[in-house]
C-alpha cells in the first residue's frame, strides 16, 4: 500500500514533474479534440505532414536565433494555407497535395540547416521532446494556446463534422468549405507545435491520432468520441510520465507507447467494433446459417 502511494505521490514533489504533468495533460486534451476531426476526415497523414511542415520554420528560427516554436508555427500555418488552397482543385486528392507541399517544406528545412554547422544537438529537444525541461512560461503558453484551440474547435464543431462527412453536401448547403479547411489545418498545426515539447517532432503524430482512433473504436457517437479522445490522451500522457519517472526512461517515447497500448486494447476488446466482438458476431451469424 505504501509503495503504491509513494509511486503516485513521489513525482509531484518535484516542480519539473508538476510542469510536465500540466503540459502533458493539456496537450493530451487538445490533441484528442483536434485529432478527432482529423480521424473523422480520414486525414491521419496530415499530422505527420504538419510535423514536417513546421521544420523549415524551426530551422530558420534557429539560424536567426529566434523562438523555435513561433518559427515552426508560422511555417506550418503558411504551408497549411497553401495546401487548403491547392486542394480545392478536386482533380487532385487532398493527400496528394499534402505530400507535395509538406515534403517540399521539409526539404527546405534541411537546406536551411545545412548553412548552420553544429545544429543537431540544439534541435534534439525539437525532434524528441523535452517535457521534463519546460519552464513556467512554457506551461502558460500551452495553457493559453490550448484554451484558444478548444474554443475555436467548439465554435466550428458542427461545420467541421459536416465537411468531414460529405464535402459536396456541405458546399451545396452554403458552408465555406475552403475557410473550414484552413481552420482545420490551422488547428492541427498549432496543436502539433504546442505538443512538440511533450513528445517531439518525430512522435507527435501518435498523440494527435491514436487517442481519437481509440475513441472511434469505442463509440459511434461523435459527441462521445469528442469526450473519450481527450480523456484517453490525457490519461495516457499521465501514465507515460509516471513510468518515465519510475524507470528513468524517455518520457515522450513512453507516452506514445502507453497510448499505443490503449489502442491495441481497444482494437481487441471494444464492445462493438473490437476484434473479439466482431468475431463473436461472425460466429453467431455462421451458426444461424448452419441451422437454416
How many structural domains are present in the chain?
Answer: 1
Confidence at 290, pLDDT banded by 50, 70, 90: very low
Residue 244 has pLDDT above 70, yes or no: yes
| CATH number (domain holding residue 109) | 1.10.3470.10
pLDDT tens per residue, range 109-119? 778 877 766 55
On whether the CB atoms of residues 94 and 43 are closer than 8 A, the answer is: yes
- Separation between Cα atoms, residue 119 and residue 109, nearest integer Å: 12
Query: CA 104, 256, 125, 52: dihedral to nearest 10 degrees?
Result: 10
**Overall average pLDDT of the 45-51 stretch:** 73
Q: Could you tell me what percent of the chain has a pLDDT over 90?
A: 35
Domain hosting residue 147, numbered range: 2-291
- For the whole model, what pTM was predicted? 0.84
Confidence at 198, pLDDT banded by 50, 70, 90: confident
For the chain, give the DSSP string. Answer: -HHHHHHHHGGGGSHHHHHHHHHHHHHHHHHHHHHHHHHHHT-HHHHHHHHHHHHHHHHHHHHTT--HHHHHHHHHHHHHHHHHHHTTSTTS-HHHHHHHHHHHHHHHHHHHHTTSTT-TTTTHHHHH--GGG--HHHHHHHHHHHHHHHHHHHHTHHHHHHHHH-HHHHHHTT--HHHHHHHHHHHHHHHHHHHHHHHHHHHHHHHHHHHHHHHHHH-S-HHHHHHHHHHHHHHHHHHHHHHHHHHT--HHHHHHHHHHHHHHHHHHH-TTTSHHHHHHHHHHHHHHHHH-
Considering 32-41, 43-52, 53-62, 114-123, the range whose residues carry the highest mean pLDDT is 32-41
The reported pLDDT for the residue numbered 127 is 67
The reported pLDDT for the residue numbered 1 is 64
Residue 216 has pLDDT above 90, yes or no: yes
pLDDT tens per residue, range 83-105? 777 776 666 666 677 777 777 87
Residue 190 has pLDDT above 80, yes or no: yes
For the chain, the farthest-separated pair of C-alpha atoms sits apart, in whole angstroms, at 75
Average pLDDT, the chain: 84
**Overall average pLDDT of the 140-164 stretch:** 93
The reported pLDDT for the residue numbered 243 is 93
The reported pLDDT for the residue numbered 37 is 93
**Which of 63-67, 126-130, 227-231 has the weakest average pLDDT?**
126-130
Amino acid at each position: 500500500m505504501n509503495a503504491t502511494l509513494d509511486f503516485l505521490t513521489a513525482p509531484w514533489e518535484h516542480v519539473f514533474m508538476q510542469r510536465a504533468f500540466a503540459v502533458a495533460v493539456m496537450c493530451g486534451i487538445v490533441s484528442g479534440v483536434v485529432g478527432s476531426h482529423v480521424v473523422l476526415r480520414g486525414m491521419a497523414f496530415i499530422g505527420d505532414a504538419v510535423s514536417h511542415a513546421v521544420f523549415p520554420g524551426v530551422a530558420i528560427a534557429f539560424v536567426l536565433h529566434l523562438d523555435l516554436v513561433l518559427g515552426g508555427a508560422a511555417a506550418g500555418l503558411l504551408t497549411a494555407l497553401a495546401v487548403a488552397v491547392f486542394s480545392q482543385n478536386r482533380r487532385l486528392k487532398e493527400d496528394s497535395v499534402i505530400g507535395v507541399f509538406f515534403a517540399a517544406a521539409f526539404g527546405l528545412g534541411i537546406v536551411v540547416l545545412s548553412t548552420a554547422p553544429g545544429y543537431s544537438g540544439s534541435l534534439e529537444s525539437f525532434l524528441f521532446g523535452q517535457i521534463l525541461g519546460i519552464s513556467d512560461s512554457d506551461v502558460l503558453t500551452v495553457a493559453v494556446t490550448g484554451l484558444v484551440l478548444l474554443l475555436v474547435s467548439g465554435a466550428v464543431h458542427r461545420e467541421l463534422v459536416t465537411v468531414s462527412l460529405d464535402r459536396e453536401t456541405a458546399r451545396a448547403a452554403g458552408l465555406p468549405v475552403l475557410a473550414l479547411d484552413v481552420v482545420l489545418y490551422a488547428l492541427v498545426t498549432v496543436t502539433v507545435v504546442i505538443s512538440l515539447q511533450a513528445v517531439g517532432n518525430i512522435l507527435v503524430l501518435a498523440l494527435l491520432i491514436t487517442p481519437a482512433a481509440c475513441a472511434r473504436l469505442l463509440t459511434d457517437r461523435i459527441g462521445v468520441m469528442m469526450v473519450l479522445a481527450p480523456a484517453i490522451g490525457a490519461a495516457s500522457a499521465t501514465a507515460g510520465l509516471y513510468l518515465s519517472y519510475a524507470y528513468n526512461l524517455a518520457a515522450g517515447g513512453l507516452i506514445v507507447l502507453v497510448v499505443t497500448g490503449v489502442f491495441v486494447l481497444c482494437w481487441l476488446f471494444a464492445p462493438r467494433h473490437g476484434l473479439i466482438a466482431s468475431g463473436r458476431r461472425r460466429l453467431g451469424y455462421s451458426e444461424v446459417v448452419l441451422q437454416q
